[in-house]
Amino acid sequence: MLYVAENATFNSSSEAEMKTQRFYLSCLKEQKIEELKEKPLTDLIKKVDQSGLFLPSRDYYLNKTTNGKVLAAYQQYMVDMGLLLGGAIGSVEVQMAQIVEFETQLANLTVPQDERRDEEKIYNRMNVAELQNLAPVFDWLDYLNFALSPLEINDTEPVVVYGKEYLQQVSDLVNSTDPVILNNYLIWNLVQKMSPSLDSRFEKAQDKLLESLYGAKKSCTPRWQTCLSNTDDTLGFSLGSLFVKSTFDKNSKTIAEQMIAEIRTAFEFTLASLSWMDEKTKRTAKEKADAIYDMIGFPDFILDTKELDEVYDGFEVAEDSFFQNMLNFYNFSAKLMAEQLRKPPNREQWSMTPQTVNAYYLPNKNEIVFPAGILQAPFYAPTHPKYVC
């Protein structure tokens, strides 16, 4: 797969596959990224007229006795980033301290994760009009219409709120906070999102913070590996098409499907002989086993050039601008998510790309997934006895 991605003579009838190579190569062009320095991000910030916490847990903000060093490292990281973007030391330190204070106030409003485990307690269904009354500082209708354009949203549109009290309190906090601080906070979120696409100075600044957070220096990952991971995140199914065509043994999919069918048959045979389970429960268990939807290897659409191209239609990719490619991807992803709103759930939608070395079972969908990535040695091979696969 790496050979295909880097092959200068690579040619494909699929535009999605060509985009995949262009994206990967744009990430590899470190010299170009270094030459541009902070300019792509500063240009973007100038276009922004006017979201969650950066640190992994609210405790990093609230428990200063235990996490004081981490919070100080985070604030220093923010200052370093501000200076890299051309800010003056005095104003940057003041502004970043204000943002940390605002994030600390947000952290104080968040509900600890252990209190969010019961979904029935935090699930609040309402319409947009009720949401507007709950948190009036935001113009929700205007925001949702902007975010979900070209879909049209009205006051009766149903929404689910998982943090009712949090939204009420955040609305009050925003209402009482200096607009300059709010603006700087939004800009800071943009900087966090886009800085990984900039030059090595920004990466080094983040590495210092991660060392304070996790107590260990980041291992030196080869650039090709980072770029392959980025390509998987953005054009995963197109990359999967290249992987399947160049590496995956198609017979593995057929053999794995047969194995799962045999395991299901054996399970149901054993189920029928269980003495500790009543007949009604056995029938329910058998119905669930029969209904398990198995997804093996890869979705068929990745080998259909027309279908694959349609998936990534609208995602513009150039070979000479990694930053712009990432920005285009975020915009493309937002548009794609908006389009899902009026569509029924698709049971055949994969949550993992074919080249992923993993597998999963989703209880809420009753589906089991074995991507092509795990159907290879050492985890699996067609020549292995089935009892070791």
Q: Looking at 318-386, which runs of residues are DSSP E strands?
A: 360-362, 367-371
C-alpha span between 58 and 64 (Å, rounded): 11
C-alpha span between 33 and 35 (Å, rounded): 5
Q: For 175-198, what is each residue's pLDDT tens digit?
A: 999 999 999 999 998 898 899 998
> For the chain, which residues make up each domain, given as ranges?
15-222
* Prediction pTM value: 0.81
Cβ distance 54 to 168 under 8 Å? no
**Does pLDDT of 51 surpass 50?**
no
Q: For 41-50, what is each residue's pLDDT tens digit?
A: 777 654 433 2
Number of residues written out for the chain: 389
C-alpha span between 288 and 299 (Å, rounded): 23
- Whether a cis peptide bond, with omega within 30° of 0, leads into 378 is yes
Nearest to 84 by CA among 181, 182, 206, 179: 206
Burial 238-248 (b: 16+ CB within 10 A, else e): bbbbbbbeeeb
CATH fold of 15-222 reads: Neutral endopeptidase; domain 2 (1.10.1380)
Integer angstrom CA distances of residue 33 from 25, 201, 331: 12, 11, 21
pLDDT of 50 reads 27
pLDDT of 320 reads 87
pLDDT grade for 325, boundaries at 50, 70 and 90: very high
**Does pLDDT of 251 surpass 60?**
yes
**Does pLDDT of 138 surpass 80?**
yes
Cβ distance 198 to 40 under 8 Å? yes
Residue 126's φ and ψ, nearest 5 degrees, are -155, 175
Residue 37 backbone zone (phi > 0: left; psi -120 to 50: alpha; other: beta): left
pLDDT grade for 69, boundaries at 50, 70 and 90: confident
- Whether a cis peptide bond, with omega within 30° of 0, leads into 363 is no
Could you give the residue ranges of the DSSP H alpha helices within 215-278? 223-246, 250-272
Average pLDDT, the chain: 85
Q: How many whole angstroms from its chain centre is CA 219? A: 22
Q: Is 295 helix (H, G, I), strand (E, B) or coil?
A: strand
The H or E element spanning position 296 is strand 293-297
pLDDT of 59 reads 62
The two structure tokens encoding residue 313: 């239609």
pLDDT grade for 130, boundaries at 50, 70 and 90: very high
Cβ distance 372 to 355 under 8 Å? yes
Higher pLDDT pick, 377 / 48: 377
- Angle subtended by helix axes 179-194 and 39-47, to nearest 10: 140
Q: Above pLDDT 90, what percent of the chain?
A: 41
